[in-house]
Structure 1
Amino acid sequence: MNYWLVKSEPSTYAWEQLLKDKKTCWDGVRNYAARLHLMDMKKGDVVLYYHSNEGKNIVGIAKVQREHYPDPTTDDDRWVAVDLVPVKKMNEPIGLDAVKAEVKLKDIALVRIGRLSVMPIRKKEFDVILKMGKTTL
């Protein structure tokens, strides 16, 4: 199993909307590095859900339900989407400042490559984030 972090602006698609919808097609990604990460996602992989711009918090945990397929929002076959389902809301959201302040997360892609919308994270980083969010899986 692999671990990932995806970003969405709450005004575009909030965690609460994913909870309500119970499933979403993670589409519209137009960055080549992020696309490669989507293509590496496997069914059952765990995904941290991060609210970008407004809030800047890790707010939930999702899982990959369907591996990559052609992005339905474009006719350009270079782009892919995956399906995500919600697993659990974080008991306490973890702000970007807290992530940056945690020495065990100094190498996390969220800090190193801030503009990337889909990124891998290490199991040990995932575990630290769960502990910070007072959340178990």
Structure 2
Amino acid sequence: MAYWLFKSEADVWSWDQQVAKGEIGEEWNGVRNYQARNNMRQMQLGDLGFFYHSRAEKEIVGIVEVCALAHQDSTTEDARWDCVDIKAVRPLIAPVTLGMCKEDPRLADMVLVNNSRLSVQPVTPEEWGFVCELGASQP
């Protein structure tokens, strides 16, 4: 299993909207960055990810699961752009802010800390455990 982080602006697509999609999940569409797209192409069913509210909140608020492999993004006819579908698994008991990640030396190499603009990014198993610990959630 691999771990990921998915960034969304809360006023565009929020954790509550993701939760409302239930077991069917939702396409993680609209990504127009090659590195983020390539990350989605590597994902496998059952991979887990953090759901991150970017912009104002800048915090990890929940855990999602990849429920459909990379496929054509339905928001464009351009065949270069793929996406996966994700479904909500559970919220973090306590949101983990970007500031908390930056202050924790165990997360110094985390992509979120060093490249906060990448919208879909990998998370190492160690980082996954540390963030879950900070969020008072089971890994």
Q: Name structure 2 gaps, 5 residues minimum.
A: none
> In the alignment, which residue of structure 1 is the partner of 2:135?
133
Paired with 2:33 and 2:82, the residues of 1 have a C-alpha distance of 11
> In the alignment, which residue of structure 1 is the partner of 2:10?
10
Q: Per-residue CA shift, 1:86-106, capped at 9, x if unaligned? A: 000000000110000000000
Specify the SS of the correspondent of 2:11: helix
- 1:80-95 to 2 correspondence within 5 Å? 80-95=82-97
Q: Per-residue CA shift, 1:25-60, capped at 9, x if unaligned? A: 100000010010010111000010000002100000
> In the alignment, which residue of structure 1 is the partner of 2:32?
30
Specify the SS of the correspondent of 2:4: strand
Paired with 1:21 and 1:38, the residues of 2 have a C-alpha distance of 20
Bigger shift: 18-27 or 101-110? 18-27
1:53 lines up with 2:55 in the alignment: yes
Paired with 1:114 and 1:121, the residues of 2 have a C-alpha distance of 13
Q: Per-residue CA shift, 1:100-120, capped at 9, x if unaligned? A: 000000000001111000000
Q: TM-score, normalised by structure 1?
A: 0.98
Q: TM-score, normalised by structure 2?
A: 0.97
Aligned-residue CA RMSD in angstroms?
Answer: 0.6
Paired with 1:127 and 1:83, the residues of 2 have a C-alpha distance of 23
Q: Name structure 1 gaps, 5 residues minimum.
A: none
- Note the C-alpha offset of 1:81: 1.0
1:70 lines up with 2:67 in the alignment: no
Structure 1 runs of 4+ aligned residues shifted over 2 Å read: none
Paired with 2:79 and 2:124, the residues of 1 have a C-alpha distance of 29
> In the alignment, which residue of structure 1 is the partner of 2:122?
120
Identity between Structure 1 and Structure 2 (%): 38
